[in-house]
Structure formats: C-alpha cells, structure tokens
Amino acid sequence: MFPWLSLLAALAVGYATLCLVYYLLQERLIFVRHPLSRRYRYRFNHPFEERWITAADGAELHGLYFPVEHARGVVLYFHGNTGTLRRWGKRAPRFTRSGYAVLMPEPRGYGKSKGKLSEEAILADALQWYDHLCTMWPEDRIVVYGRSLGSGSAVPVAAQRHPRNLVLESPFARLIDPARNYFRWLPYRLLLNYRFANDVAIRLVRCPVCIFHGERDGVVPIASALRLYASIPTTVERQMIVFPTGHHNDLARFARYHRILRALLDDEREHREDRPGPVAAPELH
C-alpha cells in the first residue's frame, strides 16, 4: 500500500550494509599491503642494507638503509599506503644525491614486516625506528619525511622527538579527509578505527616544516593540507609549496620540487623561496 516505505526500508538496509562492509574492510582499504618472503632479494642500482628491529609486542619489523659515504645526515622516509620497499626504495636517490643516507621502514604487514595492525602500534614502531637512527646519528642531522599516509607516522615522530626538519609530501590533516574524498556519505567518525590526527600532533612540532602538495590532488584534498599547514605553530619556520597542476603521485615531475628539496637538505636558508612565506607559491614550468 505504501511502496515508498518499502523503498526507504531497502535503502536503509543497503546503507547499513555498506557501512558494515566498510567498517569490516577498512584496514584493507587504508593499508594496501603486499607481503614479501623473508628470502626475497631486493634489486636496486644503488647500495642498500636490510635492517631489522623487534617491536615491543615482539613483531619483527623490516626496513632498508641506503648508505652514503661521508653522509651529511640521514632521512627517515615513511612511505605511502600502497606498495612495498621494492617500489619505494627507488626514491632513495632523491636524497642520496644530496649526500644523505636514507632509512625506509616497512609498516606492519608490508613487505617483510610482521605484526598486528593498530594506530598505536604504527606510531610506536615509527618512534622505534627514529630511536634506532639516534644510535648512529645526532638528532640535528635527522630529517623526517612523510609521504601521504606516511605523514601519519612522520608528524607524531617529529612532535615527540627533535629532528632537524619535517618534510611532508601530499599529507592530510586527518585521515577522515581522504576517506570522505572517496565516499562522502558514510559516517566516518563512527566507522574509522584510525584517526591519524596530524593537525593535532603538528602543534607540538618545533623543527622547520615544509609541505609539498598538488592542487589537483584527487586522493588528499588540498583543503586538508592547508588545514594542516594552518595548525603549525606560528613560531615554527614553515612553508607550503603548492603545485597548481600537481596531483597526488606526480610532484617529482616538477623541477621545482627537486630544487626546493635539495635546498632543504643543503640548508640553503638564504634562498628566498625556501624561507617561510605565502602558503601558495608559483609553479615552475
């Protein structure tokens, strides 16, 4: 008699089912993991070493260390949500060419790393990798770099330790921002088990901060990165470099990205464009 009631009921059931599916599968959507055998052999055109540490809960964590002779410092690089070090290790030359060694940790469930996932465990692991570096390097020679989801590890590490610089590529203010960018109609505040509130953690950062972001980023909205930038204490040296035609995965195609990154690593503070300034900067074609 009231067909619209049946339609509303069907829509409600469908919506509830979608919420339940997302809740149960969120780890697979957030962390696109690809395990590798412990016997897997990496192949790069640059030197590297495998590193292992044991987490507080006994999980075996794996990373790759890319050494440089007479290195000027070291970059702790937290990679994005998909792929393994088999892929991300190819980015090491961006830093080794400037005389910096690189340590790339593999999150739990990625590559050769083991262990049960949780936000608390991920952050504890990130701090442990940083402290591992501190056994070899003074903090004023450590640069923390977070790429996309890796910003969720990089920002809390910089907030709780004292690295020389924090560099973020395509970061978010909170994980809920990229989640909403995909499915706007789900109640993420109720569903998400992972928060990664970078905008809260970054308020405790005291080292210089640089953010790279593409204005056409279809994964992490530029508005989220701008909110993160606005959360940095005004007493901190900060800059945000926006690429008007940049997307989520292509910032390295811009010469300006490489030039500014080299200047950050070289500590060439006298360069005008590398001092704190406007949020948006013109793109170099």
Give the dihedral sign, CA 238/244/250/251: negative
- Confidence at residue 254, expressed as pLDDT on a 0 to 100 scale: 97
Percent of the chain surpassing pLDDT 70? 89
Shared domain check, 266 and 145: yes
Dig out the tokens for 144 from the structure. 């923390």
Whether 12 shows a pLDDT value over 70: the answer reads no
Q: Which candidate, 198, 167, 205, 175, places its Cα nearest to that of 76?
A: 167
| pLDDT band of 281, cuts 50, 70, 90 | very low
Does 285 reside within a domain?
no
**pLDDT for 146-183, tens place per residue?**
999 999 999 999 999 999 999 999 999 999 999 888 77
| pLDDT band of 9, cuts 50, 70, 90 | low
Shared domain check, 42 and 24: no
Q: Which candidate, 198, 118, 136, places its Cα nearest to that of 166?
A: 198
Whether 126 contacts 107, CB under 8 Å: no
Does 282 reside within a domain?
no
Does 151 reside within a domain?
yes
Does 157 reside within a domain?
yes
Shared domain check, 204 and 70: yes
**pLDDT for 177-231, tens place per residue?**
998 887 777 887 888 899 999 999 999 999 999 999 999 999 999 999 999 999 9
Does 281 reside within a domain?
no
- Confidence at residue 284, expressed as pLDDT on a 0 to 100 scale: 34
- pTM equals 0.90
- Confidence at residue 274, expressed as pLDDT on a 0 to 100 scale: 40
The residues, any chain, with a CB within 8 Å of residue 59's CB and separated by 6 or more, are 108, 113, 114, 115, 116, 121, 125
Shared domain check, 88 and 21: no
Does 283 reside within a domain?
no
H/E stretch holding 8 reads helix 3-30
272 vs 95, which has greater pLDDT? 95
**pLDDT for 97-142, tens place per residue?**
999 999 999 999 999 999 999 999 999 999 999 999 999 999 999 9
Shared domain check, 81 and 24: no
Does 243 reside within a domain?
yes
- Please give the residue range of the domain that contains residue 2: 1-30
Whether 94 contacts 37, CB under 8 Å: no
Shared domain check, 164 and 87: yes
| pLDDT band of 50, cuts 50, 70, 90 | very high
- Confidence at residue 10, expressed as pLDDT on a 0 to 100 scale: 65
Shared domain check, 131 and 268: yes
In the block, tokens 């949020």 appear at 279
Shared domain check, 40 and 17: no
The residues, any chain, with a CB within 8 Å of residue 141's CB and separated by 6 or more, are 72, 73, 74, 164
Shared domain check, 154 and 42: yes
257 vs 3, which has greater pLDDT? 257
Shared domain check, 5 and 41: no
**d(Cα 230, Cα 234) in Å, to the nearest integer?**
9
Whether 108 contacts 116, CB under 8 Å: yes
Number of H helices, E strands in the chain: 10, 8
Shared domain check, 235 and 148: yes
Whether 92 shows a pLDDT value over 50: the answer reads yes
Whether 280 shows a pLDDT value over 80: the answer reads no
- Confidence at residue 26, expressed as pLDDT on a 0 to 100 scale: 78
Shared domain check, 68 and 3: no
Whether 8 shows a pLDDT value over 80: the answer reads no
Dig out the tokens for 280 from the structure. 């948006």
Does 218 reside within a domain?
yes
Considering its fold, how many domains does the chain have in total?
A: 2
**pLDDT for 242-276, tens place per residue?**
999 999 999 999 999 999 999 999 874 433 344 43
- Confidence at residue 158, expressed as pLDDT on a 0 to 100 scale: 98
